[in-house]
Amino acid sequence: MLNTLKLPQKDALRTKTENISGSEILLKAFIAEGVDTIFGYPGGAIMPIYDALYDYQQQLNHILVRHEQGGIHAAQGYARASGRTGVVFATSGPGATNLITGLADALIDSTPLVCITGQVFAHLLGTDAFQETDVINITTPVTKWNFQVTDARELPSAIAKAFHIAGSGRPGPVLIDITKNAQLQKIDFEGYTPCKFLRSYRPKPIVRREPIEQAAALINKAKRPFVLWGQGVILGKAEQEFRAFIEKTGIPAAWTILGLSALSTDHPLNVGMLGMHGNYGPNLLTNECDVMIAIGMRFDDRVTGRLDKYAKQATIIHLDIDPSEIDKNVKADVGIWGDCKETLPILTELVEKGSHKEWLQRFYDCTKEEEKQVIHDELHPTTSEMTMGEVINVMNELTGGDAIVVTDVGQHQMVACRYAKFNQTKSNVTSGGLGTMGFALPAAIGAKFGAPDRTVIAIIGDGGFQMTIQELGTIMQSNVDVKIIILNNRFLGMVRQWQQLFHDKRYSFVNITSPDFVMVAKGYGIAGKSISDRNDLRESLQTMLNHPGAFLLEIMVGKENNVFPMVPQGCSVSEIRLK
């Protein structure tokens, strides 16, 4: 946490002095930082900022969401699709506390956000005033940094610091709480200077060559090396450097769900997905590799399974920009602290050009076995009921792997991550570490604003959709062209799967009744269709993609289909089950 850091000294470039309010200073700072879109919901304690925003509508596009949680998830989607820092506004009290889930999600998934909350007048702090909440202490565990502004003179440096911290190093959410008097207070404003340096904050360490040389020596001697990559490759904008490394070494590489799309899914060295519902080969062969190279990933428990049985035979090389991740879960033999955009080229220069055909063939053989036992029946079922996998498969054919796919949390998430095809980076947007149901609909809205020229498809379960269904109003009012696929199995599917496999089919409160989603969408002026026959699947997906504007397609899928392979909780990754 960076809460103890002092604000940088003001050294703004001297320009024409203006006597303006704190609210206007905030908006001028946003424009200077290149902000173009704000997601938010007004209220009493942030009203002066919204009043100032009235005069800045040509420079700043404000999207009125229907709930503050929707606002912060939309800002996350914007950040993930654009690679820029997302911005969200909320008022004090319940408005601010409604951001908590999104802050926690953004922190664990390293998403850069600047969140602005209004606060009661400074002289009322601590009096239990109307809609007063101690936002700073509440959000400290779920922000990279937070700060309360009680005087407008603090605003320029506080905002500059917020953007610097949010977007640098390992990105994350920052929250600035601004009292109402600071929003109204007028001061002489001499201009805004972005922050580039904080004395006690080192977002990008100086790269040390020695551990990279040690890693290269180990890789050059390896017989069965294996690369695991995560979102750090995308956040570091190191996709080309990563590809150059694996292509020179010929090492098979597997991804975490947040790392998905950094490398095209059809690349011959891309051997699939890691983790609980990942592919057979990457999990099974984790415990057979001799050198493991982890790049920008944090060895999450859903990837490792039982740590005491995880890759014990392997020499571990871990590259990460966050030193706290190295040795946190898995002890590294060589830890390389740094930005992978800087460390990978050095490593690539030092490693020998290699080929590991026999080892790579082991992964291909595992894929063939998985195709025979799992994938073929999921993508080409012979039963009357449609599967989630066949929906994703047809979607791939129609989009050519060029769409941004935003997934919620549950069975559909795992199926989409397993089977969706991607040709471009920043194409997979999902809630990884926190697993937030209700994420996808608002995140898809944000993703469309972040990448307006790309097709954005939200894939959501019938349970998660109802958690943020009100954001259909945001789509209606702001005319957002997002395509929504609801994979409806009439269950809270992932919980039901666990209850089936590990609780003797005691289905406790997982049957969920849903409204007529198409009628609900129609009420919001959004076109829609519901299908239950696979003969209608391709045509309906094409209709959705061709439709000018938002479209909701509900697809009824099998009620009790399970997602396999699966590593049962408490088991080693090599104990992965195909059925």
Tell me the catalytic residues.
Answer: 68, 130-131, 180, 494
Q: Report residue 489 CA to chain centroid gap.
A: 25
Alpha helices in 168-238 (DSSP H): 180-184, 209-221, 232-235
Close Cβ partners of 206 (under 8 Å, ≥ 6 residues apart)? none
Q: Report residue 450 CA to chain centroid gap.
A: 13
CB 445, CB 79: distance < 8 Å: no
CB 262, CB 290: distance < 8 Å: no
List the structure tokens of 26. 């905030």
List the structure tokens of 193. 């200077």
Distance CA 239, CA 209 (A): 21
Angle CA 203–209–215, to nearest 5: 105
Helix, strand, coil shares, percent, the chain, to 5: 40, 20, 40
List the structure tokens of 329. 């879960």
List the structure tokens of 373. 């036992």
List the structure tokens of 460. 């959501």
Alpha helices in 432-508 (DSSP H): 440-450, 462-465, 472-478, 493-502
Terminal-residue alpha carbon distance, the chain? 43
| Amino acid, single-letter form, for residue 451 | A
List the structure tokens of 79. 């950040």
Residue given tokens 């992965």 in the structure block: 576
CB 280, CB 368: distance < 8 Å: no
Distance CA 454, CA 574 (A): 38
Helix 209-221 × helix 340-350 angle, to 10°: 50
Q: Which of 168, 297, 228, 239 is nearest to 425 (CA)?
A: 239
**Burial class of residue 350, CB neighbours in 10 A (0-12, 13-18, 19+):** middle
Total residues found in the chain within this entry: 579
